[in-house]
Structure 1
Amino acid sequence: MLKDSPTESRFVSRISISLPEKLLVELDSMVGDRGFQSRSQAIIDMLHKSLMEHRREFGQDVMVGTITLYYKNAVPGLQKKIADLQAVHIDEVISSLHIHLANNETMEVILVQGPASKLQDIADEMITCRGVISGKMQLIAALIPPLHPLPEKSSKKG
C-alpha cells in the first residue's frame, strides 16, 4: 500500500535503478540546485508527484488541492461566471482567494476537495472560460478535516 507522504513510513525498502550517465549528471545537478539532501530524497519527491498525478488521472480518491486561474478582468461576465461555478460546486469548493494584478488581470486560487475526477471536471469548466489566460489544478492525497459538523436531523416531530 502506498503512503500519502513519503515521510510517514517507518520502514524503508531499498531498490536499485540503472540510469544513463547523462540522466545521472542531470539528477545530481538538480539535487544540488534544489537543495535535496540526497539522490534518494529527490527521487522520492519525483515519485510522489508522479503517483499523485496518476491517482488524479485514474482514481476516484477524495483529494484536496487548488485550482489556480489567471485571467483578464475586462472580459464581460467572467468574474461572475467563475463565482457562479464555485456556487454550483459548493460541495467541492472550500474557499477562494483572488488578487488583482497589473494590466487589469487577476489571479484566483480556489481550494477544493472531492473525488479527483470531479475536481478535474470543475477545473476544466473554469479553465476553459473565455478570458482565462491560464489555469492549473494541483491535488494531493490528503483531506481537510470537517470544520464544523452539521447537527444530526431528528426524526421526531414535536
Structure 2
Amino acid sequence: MQRITISIDDQLGQSLDRQVSARSYASRSEAVRDLVREGLEHWRAEDNPGDLCVANLSYIVDHRVRALPQRLAELQHAHHDLVAASTVVRLDHFHSMESVILKGATAAVHSFANQVRGERGVKFGALNLLAASTDHQHGIADHHHDEATHLRPAV
C-alpha cells in the first residue's frame, strides 16, 4: 500500500470528518480511498471513444485568485471553435459558477476541460459529455452550410 500526504483547509477537513462519521467509515483514509476511486471512475467515464461530442463544463471560480477570471476568458477565446456559449452565476462576493457549453472534437473538449479544471482557483470542475456525430442527412435540402456542421446525438 502506498502512503500519500495531502493538505486541506480546516473547513474541508471538518466536512470530511462529518461525512466519515455520518457514513460510518472507520477512518479518514477509508473515506478518501472511496472518494479517489469514485473520482477515477468518473474520469474514466468521461473518456469517450467517439470523435465528436457536445458537453457542459461547470466549475466554481474563486475571484480572489489573481487574474483568474481573465485567464479563463482568454482560454475560452483561444478555443472559440469549441465554446458555443457560456454563462456566469455570481454566488457571493468571491465566488461564481461558470458553465460553458462546448461542441466539437472529443479530444479537444477534454483538453480544454482539463486546462480549465487545472487552473489554480477553479474548484469542483465537472464535465458532462455526450457523444455526437455529424448529420449530413438532416432532411432540409434548401440551404447551404459553408463550413458549419450539424451534430446529432450518437446512437
TM-score normalised per structure 2 = 0.55
Q: Is the 8 A contact 1:66 1:137 kept in 2?
A: yes
Query: Going by fraction, where is strand more abundant, 1 or 2?
Result: 2
Aligned to 2:85: 95
Any unmatched runs of 5+ in structure 2?
1-40, 136-143, 148-155
Q: How far apart in 2 are the matches of 1:96 and 1:62?
A: 19
How big is each residue's C-alpha offset from its partner over 1:24-72, in whole Å with a ceiling of 9 and x where there is no partner? xxxxxxxxxxxxxxxxxxxxxxxxxx9xx75x51424211011101121
Could you tell me which of 107, 113, 127 is aligned with 1:123?
Answer: 113
For each residue in 1:74-120, what CA deviation from the matched residue of structure 2 results, as whole angstroms up to 9, or x when unmatched?
A: 11110011100001111111110001102410100000001112111
Match of 1:79 among 66, 69, 81: 69
**Helix, strand or coil: the match of 1:75?**
coil
1:134 to 114, 124, 145: 124
Amino acid in the other structure paired with 1:63? C
Answer whether contact 2:57 2:113 (CA < 8 A) is retained: yes
Secondary structure of 1:141's counterpart equals strand
The answer on whether the counterparts of 1:64 and 1:143 sit within 8 Å (CA) in structure 2 is no
Q: Aligned in 2, Cα 1:149/1:84: closer, same or farther, shift over 3 Å? A: farther
Alpha-carbon distance in 2 for matches of 1:63, 1:91: 13
Displaced runs of 4 or more, over 3 A: 142-145, 148-151
Q: Distance in 1 between matches of 2:93 and 2:82?
A: 31
Amino acid at match of 2:65: V
Quote the Cα distance in structure 1 between the aligned partners of 2:49 and 2:126: 18
Pick aligned residue for 1:105 from 65, 89, 95: 95
The alignment-based identity, stated in percent, is 25
Contact conserved, 1:67 with 1:112, CA < 8 A, in 2? Answer: yes
- CA 75–91 in structure 1, closer or farther in 2 if over 3 Å, else same: same
> 2:54 corresponds to which residue?
64
What do you get for the CA RMSD once the two structures are aligned? 2.7
Structure 2 counterpart of 1:114, one-letter code: G
Work out whether residues 60 and 117 of structure 1, in 8 Å CA contact, stay in contact via their aligned partners in 2.
Answer: no
